[in-house]
Amino acid sequence: MSPAVCLTDVTAGYGQQVVFSDLSLEIGAGKFVGIVGPTGCGKTTLLRTILGTQPALSGQVLVNGREARPAPTGTIGYVPQLGTVDWNFPVTVEEVIMMGLYANKRIFPWPSKKEREIVHDLADRLGIYSCLHDHISNTSGGQRQRAFLARALVNNPALLILDEPTSGVDIKTQHQILHLLADINTQGVTIVLTTHDLNAVASHLPWIICFNNGLIAQGHPRDIFTNDILDKTYGGDIVIVKHDDHFLITNNSPLYPATQN
């Protein structure tokens, strides 16, 4: 089976500014992958390169065996950072989900009865059926994230890409979203997400890519969340506390330095 994503000697950036260079990376079909790294390290640029919205400066990007294209397709679902969304735009939760239908070429601008049924079934599955007719700005952070997740899933994509899907929500909602994504992954959907929360991905994701303007390491959290790899990824000041199969990752604040017993 071909990998869901295959980058070969890819250099990406904006104009004369190179964000990462000569990157070779494969993400297997059916994987549930988290990309972690410091702010400004190129995680979002990597996602845009995979999506084809930010064409590579050089190298080859294949998604599901085909060259990445900037035009949206039904085989890829995308959930952007919600901080980039204009919440004053006059749209309901139902209309947000239906926007995903336009990823495919359509003859008519309005949804069919069958498409509306799909939207309603998906909203019910994601727990947002009760707020379908609410303005998107009148929903909670978790409901908004689920609405945009539904928008990405409405065309049954083979690959789902999410940029910081747990940002700005409480811990309970964060875990609910990650559990939901894990359930979606069991249905054969390849999932790639970026996040800053190392503890959340350590608990929920089976495969992690440490990234900082290039690939640092990849593997299961218990194998790659080490002081050496996280120092290379974040530049130090990371403390890992392990107990049996569980561990806690935190910042070694200079105001309250970690002590070892």
Type and span of the H or E element at 222: helix 221-224
Helix axes 171-185, 141-153, angle to 10 degrees: 20
Q: What angle do CA 67, 63, 2 make, to 5 degrees?
A: 110
Rounded CA gap, 121 and 115, in Å?
Answer: 10
Query: What is residue 111's predicted lDDT score, i.e. its pLDDT?
Result: 80
HSE-CB of 6 using CA atoms within 13 angstroms:
12
Q: Which residue has the tokens 């900082």?
A: 212
Domain boundaries, given as residue ranges, for the chain: 76-156
Predicted TM-score of the model (pTM): 0.89
Question: pLDDT of 92-125, one tens digit each?
Answer: 999 999 988 876 655 556 788 888 999 999 999 9
HSE-CB of 216 using CA atoms within 13 angstroms:
25
Query: What is residue 45's predicted lDDT score, i.e. its pLDDT?
Result: 96
Query: What is residue 93's predicted lDDT score, i.e. its pLDDT?
Result: 96
Query: What is residue 258's predicted lDDT score, i.e. its pLDDT?
Result: 46
Q: Give how far Cα 172 sits from Cα of 42, 139, 143, 200, 239, Å.
A: 28, 16, 13, 11, 24
DSSP 8-state symbol, 138: G
Query: What is residue 70's predicted lDDT score, i.e. its pLDDT?
Result: 67
HSE-CB of 73 using CA atoms within 13 angstroms:
15
Q: Who's near 149: CB < 8 A, 6+ residues apart?
A: 79, 126, 162, 165, 177, 180
Rounded CA gap, 230 and 77, in Å?
Answer: 30
The H-assigned helical ranges of 63-137 are: 93-99, 113-125
- Which residues of the chain are modeled with pLDDT < 70? 1, 70-74, 103-109, 245, 252-261
Query: What is residue 261's predicted lDDT score, i.e. its pLDDT?
Result: 41
Query: What is residue 82's predicted lDDT score, i.e. its pLDDT?
Result: 81
Query: What is residue 256's predicted lDDT score, i.e. its pLDDT?
Result: 46
